[in-house]
């Protein structure tokens, strides 16, 4: 690392911000000339015609690789980031795009991967998904075209596909400079493609590092039958805006048709469900996600992690308090060091001990991190808690003893999580709230929770929203702010080597924090009409009770002693999901309603009733995602 502000590496080591030599034994070191590295583009034939122009699609793979190993007959591994964003919305906190010289040769590569890793003996390959930037074809938002775009480049790197020197025509090009070992990395859509390619089991893919990534596209656009109000064809049109004029209207029409408005899980979503294909994964997986990510919601990392565990995949995970943020922008020095050692181990085969380190690293307070031997925490066990009626209608206690009676609320489609949570002692016409007493010792929620609600609707359509809330004062990252938990300064640090047009230096970031009186730690939404199946709605009969179980977001959160853990159930969370056609009154059967939480610690069976603070409480307001970046 070079620091433009003059801060020396010795100071960073003393502050514990970079690995000491002892921790970084057996590491690759910069030894190759970055300015003299080979920069080239190879167009790889996908063997399919996604845009219907009569020609097989070709995807552009822009490559930076050290010249010296190839000249000596040595072969290098590849770090790959396959993305649809290189000419549309850009990459990274500073919105970088690919750039080219007058002859079309690649010059500027977004992010620091090439600057840092090429001098250490890696090649960096940035792939334009079909239908984006300089690739032909069409994107299909996580489907076969997207996944094949990256998978076929891995095949080409291993001699199983054909590459060319031009977008059309040209001469054949072979990858005789690589040993075929590939590690995929990327945030959001890019990391999602890494998940999808890993789920094919392609030979040569040794590891993936999905950052804030989707594991099932259904869970990006839908939630247990409920819809978030946006669809994949809109994203396709955004990323195809600079694709050279290819006509992708037919493919986009298929996306619009397949993403049915009723929220059912159908064939389009099944094709894009990598969790269902996790049995094929052979690559190791290093996951990073913000537990407050309201763009790629955290159920995506939780279900992926669990499916990989069932398959015995080697895994590692970082969980931050941020929203949709790359760890390079909230824990930079430690991330670069850890990523370096991860790739050295998985792609170079170096025995640096990273496989023996704690599996999970979790941010407990802003910039305060704790290691865990496992995720979910090894002491966490599924604990069922029940709502119990109190003296205030719709407000009661939460404990291990079963409740009784009924309570009603009305879906007004005007309220959301913050208005529901802000005054926990007050009755509300649009939600019910049940809380433990002040905890005598901390409890840890670690893993994926689920809620079962038995409700009688007054109309033929109904939505359900549920959330777990930690009531008590805290300082957290301001994940609903413009930086989703970070601020960006003006001073820069440099991570790797510079070359003309390819800068390794990035603005420093810090934690954006806020003080709150409660923290929403997990959320979930559902369409009650999907109580029998996510694949097909069932007609609801007004006045008849229905039971539905649905998932809450995966997390790892410690509720401190003295705080309270609460369950809130409402109808339409207007800040998240679309409302039903006919807004119902919902009557909840407390005896048949419960929440199942992976919990380390003890919650009383029947906590004594304690009055919660009067009046609205402070919280960081939630927000809807703008786009998948």
Question: Nearest CA to 347 among 113, 110, 13?
Answer: 113
Instruction: Report H helices in 276-407.
Output: 299-310, 332-347
Q: Which class for 36: exposed (0-12), middle (13-18), buried (19 or more C-beta within 10 A)?
A: exposed
Least confident of 4-18, 86-100, 157-171, 285-299: 4-18
Residues 6 or more apart whose Cβ sits within 8 Å of residue 85: 91, 132, 189, 190, 239, 629
Give residue-wise pLDDT tens across range 456-481.
999 999 999 999 999 999 999 999 99
Can you tell me the mean pLDDT for 487-513?
Answer: 97
pLDDT of residue 605: 76
Can you tell me the mean pLDDT for 54-74?
Answer: 96
Question: Nearest CA to 224 among 488, 470, 489, 552?
Answer: 552
Residues 344, 561: contact at Cβ < 8 Å? no
Judged by DSSP in three states, 333 sits in helix
Structure tokens at 17: 């911000």
Can you tell me the mean pLDDT for 136-150?
Answer: 97
Dihedral of CA 254/256/262/265: which sign? positive
Report the alpha-carbon distance of residue 44 to residue 55 in Å, rounded. 13
Tokens 């008849």 appear where?
544
Please state whether 425 falls in left (phi above 0), alpha (psi between -120 and 50) or beta: alpha
Pairing of strands 123-128, 76-83: parallel
Tokens 């030599």 appear where?
21
Pairing of strands 205-211, 222-223: unpaired
Structure tokens at 77: 């591994």
614 pLDDT higher than 90: no
Q: How confident is the model at residue 111 (pLDDT cuts 50, 70, 90)?
A: very high
Q: Where are the beta strands (DSSP E) in 191-281?
A: 205-211, 222-223, 226-227
Which one from 324, 345, 386, 563 is the annotated catalytic residue? 324
7 pLDDT higher than 50: no
For the CA atoms of 462, 463, 464, 465, the dihedral, rounded to the nearest 10 degrees, stands at -160
Question: Nearest CA to 107 among 165, 164, 41, 192?
Answer: 41
92 pLDDT higher than 60: yes
CB atoms within 10 A of CB 418: 18
Report the alpha-carbon distance of residue 478 to residue 582 in Å, rounded. 35
The verdict on whether 289 is a catalytic residue reads no
Report the alpha-carbon distance of residue 577 to residue 228 in Å, rounded. 4
Report the mean per-residue pLDDT for the chain. 93
The verdict on whether 470 is a catalytic residue reads no
Q: How confident is the model at residue 617 (pLDDT cuts 50, 70, 90)?
A: confident
Judged by DSSP in three states, 462 sits in coil
DSSP 30-98: --S-STT-EEEEEEEE-S--TT-SSS--EEEEEEEE-HHHHHTT--EEEEEEEES-TTTT-BTTTTB--
Instruction: Please state which of the four CATH numbers 3.40.50.1820, 3.40.50.300, 3.40.50.720, 3.40.50.1100 is assigned to the domain occupying 2-363.
Output: 3.40.50.1820
Question: Nearest CA to 40 among 18, 14, 15, 66?
Answer: 66
Can you tell me the mean pLDDT for 257-266?
Answer: 97
For the CA atoms of 306, 310, 314, 315, the dihedral, rounded to the nearest 10 degrees, stands at 10
Report the alpha-carbon distance of residue 28 to residue 349 in Å, rounded. 11
DSSP 541-591: PTT--EEEEEE---EEEEE-TT-EEEEEEES--TTTSPPPSSPPEEEEEGG
Which one from 135, 181, 188, 415 is the annotated catalytic residue? 188
Give residue-wise pLDDT tens across range 506-525.
999 999 999 999 999 999 99
Which one from 293, 418, 470, 556 is the annotated catalytic residue? 293
Pairing of strands 381-392, 486-494: unpaired
The yes-or-no answer to whether 2-363 and 381-477+522-600 have a common fold is: no
Can you tell me the mean pLDDT for 293-314?
Answer: 97
For 381-477+522-600, which CATH superfamily applies? Galactose-binding domain-like (2.60.120.260)
Tokens 């049915």 appear where?
260
pLDDT of residue 12: 33
613 pLDDT higher than 80: no
60 pLDDT higher than 60: yes
Report the alpha-carbon distance of residue 65 to residue 37 in Å, rounded. 6
Report the alpha-carbon distance of residue 396 to residue 421 in Å, rounded. 14
pLDDT of residue 2: 40
State CA 456 to chain mean position distance: 35
Give residue-wise pLDDT tens across range 9-33.
333 333 333 333 333 458 999 999 9
The verdict on whether 188 is a catalytic residue reads yes
List, in sequence order, every residue forming a beta bridge with 565; answer none if it has no partner. Answer: 470
Report the alpha-carbon distance of residue 213 to residue 235 in Å, rounded. 15
What are the extents of the domains in the chain? Answer: 2-363, 381-477+522-600
Is the peptide bond between 149 and the residue preceding it cis, with omega within 30 degrees of 0? Answer: no
618 pLDDT higher than 80: no
Report the alpha-carbon distance of residue 427 to residue 422 in Å, rounded. 11
Give residue-wise pLDDT tens across range 172-202.
999 999 999 999 999 999 999 999 999 999 9
Least confident of 83-97, 241-255, 340-354: 241-255
Can you tell me the mean pLDDT for 34-48?
Answer: 97
Structure tokens at 265: 């899980």
pTM, two decimal places: 0.93
611 pLDDT higher than 60: no
């Amino acid at each position: 690392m070079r620091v433009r502000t003059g801060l020396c590496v010795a100071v960073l080591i003393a502050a514990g911000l970079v690995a000491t030599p002892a921790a970084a034994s057996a590491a690759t070191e910069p030894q190759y000339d970055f300015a003299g590295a080979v920069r080239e583009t190879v167009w790889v034939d996908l063997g399919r015609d996604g845009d219907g122009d009569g020609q097989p699609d070709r995807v552009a793979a822009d490559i930076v690789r050290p010249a010296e190993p190839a000249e000596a007959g040595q072969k290098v591994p590849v770090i790959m980031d396959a993305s649809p964003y290189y000419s549309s919305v850009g990459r990274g906190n500073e919105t970088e795009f690919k750039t080219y010289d007058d002859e079309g040769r690649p010059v500027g590569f977004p992010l620091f991967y090439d600057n840092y890793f090429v001098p250490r003996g890696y090649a960096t390959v940035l792939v334009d998904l079909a239908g984006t930037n300089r690739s032909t074809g069409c994107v299909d938002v996580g489907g076969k075209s997207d996944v094949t775009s990256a998978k076929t480049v891995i095949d080409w790197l291993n001699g199983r596909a054909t590459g060319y020197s031009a977008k059309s025509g040209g001469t054949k090009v072979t990858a005789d400079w690589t040993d075929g070992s590939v590690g995929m990395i990327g945030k959001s859509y890019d990391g999602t493609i890494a998940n999808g390619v890993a789920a094919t089991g392609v030979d040569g893919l040794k590891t993936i590092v999905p950052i804030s990534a989707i594991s099932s596209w259904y869970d990006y656009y839908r939630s247990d039958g409920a819809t978030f109000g946006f669809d994949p064809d809109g994203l396709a049109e955004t990323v195809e805006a600079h694709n050279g004029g290819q006509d992708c209207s037919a493919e986009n029409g298929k996306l619009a048709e397949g993403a049915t408005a009723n929220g059912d899980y159908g064939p389009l979503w099944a094709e894009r469900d990598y969790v269902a294909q996790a049995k094929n994964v052979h690559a190791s997986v290093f996951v990073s996600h913000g537990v407050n990510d309201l763009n790629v919601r955290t159920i995506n990392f939780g279900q992926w992690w669990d499916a990989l565990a069932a398959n015995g995949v080697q895994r590692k995970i970082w969980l931050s308090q941020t929203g949709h943020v790359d760890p390079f922008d909230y824990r930079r020095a430690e991330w670069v060091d850890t990523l370096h050692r991860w790739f050295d181990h998985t792609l170079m085969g170096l025995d640096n001990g990273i496989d023996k380190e704690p599996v999970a690293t979790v941010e407990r307070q802003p910039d305060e991190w704790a290691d865990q031997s496992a995720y979910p925490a090894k002491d966490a066990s599924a604990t069922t808690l029940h709502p119990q009626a109190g003296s205030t209608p719709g407000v009661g206690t939460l404990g291990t003893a079963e409740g009784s009676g009924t309570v009603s609320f009305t879906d007004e489609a005007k309220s959301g999580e913050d208005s529901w949570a802000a005054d926990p002692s007050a009755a509300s016409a649009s939600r019910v709230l049940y809380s433990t007493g002040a905890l005598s010792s901390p409890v840890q929620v670690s893993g994926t929770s689920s809620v079962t609600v038995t409700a009688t609707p007054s109309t033929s359509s109904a939505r359900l929203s549920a959330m777990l809330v930690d009531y008590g004062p805290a300082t957290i990252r301001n994940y609903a702010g413009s930086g989703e938990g970070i601020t960006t300064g003006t001073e820069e640090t440099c991570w790797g080597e510079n070359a003309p047009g390819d800068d390794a230096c990035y603005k420093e970031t810090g934690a954006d924090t806020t003080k709150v009186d409660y923290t929403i730690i997990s959320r979930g939404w559902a369409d009650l009409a999907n109580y029998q199946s996510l694949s097909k709605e069932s007609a609801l009969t007004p006045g008849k009770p229905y039971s539905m179980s649905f998932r809450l977001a995966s997390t790892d959160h410690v509720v401190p002693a003295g705080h309270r853990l609460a369950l809130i159930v409402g109808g339409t969370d207007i800040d998240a999901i679309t409302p039903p056609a006919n807004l119902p009154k919902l009557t909840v059967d407390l005896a048949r309603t419960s929440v199942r939480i992976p919990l380390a610690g003890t919650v009383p069976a029947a906590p004594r009733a304690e009055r919660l603070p009067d009046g609205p409480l402070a919280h960081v307001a939630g927000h809807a995602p703008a786009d998948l970046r």
